[in-house]
Amino acid sequence: MSSEREPVPHFIRNIIEDDLKSGKHQSIVTRFPPEPNGYLHVGHAKSICLNFGLALDFKGRCNLRFDDTNPEKESEEYALSIQEDVRWLGFQWDGGVHWASDYFDALYGYAVELIRAGKAYVCDLTPDEMRAYRGTLTEPGRNSPYRERSVEENLDLFSRMKDGEFSDGSKVLRAKIDMASPNINMRDPAIYRIRRAHHIRTGDQWVIYPMYDYTHCISDALEGITHSLCTLEFEDHRPLYDWVLDNITIPCHPRQYEFSRLELQYTITSKRKLNQLVTEKRVSGWDDPRMPTIAGMRRRGYTPAGIREFARRIGVSKSDNVIDMSVLEGCVREDMETSVPRVMAVVKPLKVVLSNFVAGETLSREAGFHPNHPEFGSREVPISREIWIEADDFSETPPPGWQRLVPGGEVRLRYSYVIKCDEVVKDVAGNVVELRCSLDTETLGKNPQGRKVKGVIHWVSAEHALPAEIRLYDRLFTVARPDGDKTRDFHEFINPESLSVVQGWVESCVQDSAPETRYQFERLGYFCTDRHEHMPGRKWVFNRAVSLKDTWTKETP
């Protein structure tokens, strides 16, 4: 990974610094613990950058651990995509991949230990009955009628649960804590349930699976995690995290610290709702470039460095972390401003015929790929009798201040000659289909004599340019908080203009570009060759990552 800017101080970094200075820890170990039940999104990117970034900054370690305790929703596809996302962002976990299922035998043993200590029991209440017994935020819960089963009976029932003797949902193992606790999470939570489901790693070996709150803290302890970082919705679960570790024989007791989750405007980060968009075919898949998934941002052309800078810039705190999409786009734009070559492309082509073009006499020029980076090299910008310009760069009735092409007016072709519009050709419907122009042969690389030409437009040679499918992406939703109105379905706010596909032309110098190659198309934005459909030499597909500047706030009422 390339060097990053100075880290932004925050409360978790301060805690780690204090723990290292005091000798509480000699080094730190963090972890990133996703559930393989979907693709990672931008909120996970923040967590990845936090956990792996802190480990790098303090020369510690970070584990990648899959919480694979919910077999019906998990798949190998999701697990592999998560590993690829972490690597693409520029991070590498310590050692091999860890899985909660690695600890299934140990987790079962700790449950038996809790039963033997009289701190867990098998309960036969149905899910509805358990909810009724749990109480409310203002009323205490009631003890289950099965709470006082003997240790021997609980050991026998739990063993028979493991052996598959009982039906799914008929029994659970619960921690025996306090049904009158003001924290509902401490009212005898379930720690094991019966679920006959094929597991992606253990197959059909188990018919009982541990619950997340029970599994997570023990997994942390077994891996020697020093700082267990999670989002604020788990703050009320921390007492249970500590209770489990305090009541089993385990040598390590990690500490959990919570930070606010990322709320990125104009998108959603609910895995369930993202899955809806995919299954209902509102998008082309989890890696659709309009999706806030890491795979989607990658395919769109966002850079790992831009996303890391975004995570650094938004910071870590316990206060609301509501961020406008323009902040993310700005970070990506800033990174590509200095890191990608520049070429010309036309997305709304208008043919221009150069009437005084003479083959062999009308010359081409060489142009660098970046004005501030000569090491990027250069290419020839060829010219021919017919060229393409942007249709938006011509107007018969221009607005005040217009500095592009008009009938009888002049502009400079970028890296080439000054041209003058002599004739406008229209079809039977009155649409402009062609311009007849003449070029000033004395203006290649120098200004015309006796007059000033203000406008400069981009263009490509019709003879040399490559035909390209160009995908122009915008925000997926038209409102900042698409799932903020509980009376309306978030689907209502899908932006019908979030994708437009146009057939354009690109300089031929990009013909051998590999998938995921980024360019600035001058005056148009930053683009990336599609990682799946771009085929050098046969099919050229470019996705617009971001525009040259933030125009959303100007265009959206």
Dump pLDDT digits (tens) for 435-481: 999 999 999 989 998 888 989 999 999 999 999 999 999 999 999 99
Mean pLDDT within 299-311: 98
Measured distance CA(271)–CA(40) in Å, rounded: 8
Task: Clarify whether 518 is annotated catalytic.
Answer: no
Say how many residues make up the chain.
557
With 80 as the cut, is the pLDDT of residue 1 above it? Answer: no
Report how far Cα 94 is from the mean position of its chain's Cα atoms: 22
Helix (H) or strand (E) holding 424: strand 418-426
* Euclidean distance between CA atoms 33 and 129, whole angstroms: 32
Please name the residues in contact with 52: beta carbons below 8 A apart, sequence gap of 6 or more.
30, 32, 62, 86, 91, 93
Residue 303 burial by CB count (10 A; 0-12/13-18/19+): exposed, middle or buried?
A: buried
Distance (Å, whole) CA 312 – CA 4: 9
Query: Which candidate in 119, 201, 255, 261 is catalytic?
Result: 261
pLDDT mean over 513-525: 97
pLDDT for the residue 454: 84
Q: Which residues of 384-418 are buried (b: 16+ CB within 10 A; e: fewer)?
A: bbebbbbbebbeeeeeeeeebbbbebbbbbebbbb
Is 343-464 the same fold as 265-339+466-557? yes
Q: For position 5, what pLDDT does the model report?
A: 76
Choosing from 271, 298, 299, 412, the catalytic residue is 271
Q: Which fold has domain 265-339+466-557?
A: Ribosomal Protein L25; Chain P (2.40.240)
Tokens encoding 121: 């029991």
DSSP output for 449-478: TT-----EE-EEETTTPEEEEEEEE--SBS
- Please tell me whether residue 218 adopts helix, strand or coil conformation: helix
Q: Is 471 a catalytic residue?
A: no
CB 542 within 8 A of CB 527: yes
Distance separating alpha carbons of residues 55 and 61, to the nearest angstrom: 5
Distance between CA atoms of 543 and 470, rounded to whole angstroms? 6
pTM summary value:
0.94
- Hey, what are 37's tokens? 């039940």
Please tell me the predicted confidence (pLDDT) of residue 486.
Answer: 86
Single out the catalytic residue among 35, 74, 329, 507.
35
Amino acid at 525: G
Q: What is the distance between the alpha carbons of residues 136 and 139, in angstroms, rounded to a whole number?
A: 5
Catalytic site includes residue 351? no
User: Is residue 293 predicted with pLDDT exceeding 50?
Assistant: yes
* pLDDT given for residue 2 in this prediction: 41
What is the helix (H) or strand (E) element at residue 252, kind and residue range?
none
For residues 63 and 100, what is the distance between their CA atoms, to the nearest angstrom?
A: 12
Quick one: pLDDT band at residue 551, thresholds 50, 70, 90? Answer: low
CATH class of 343-464: mainly beta
| Res 4: pLDDT | 65
The superfamily in CATH containing domain 103-211 is Glutamyl-tRNA Synthetase; Domain 3 (3.90.800.10)
Residue ranges of domains in the chain: 103-211, 265-339+466-557, 343-464
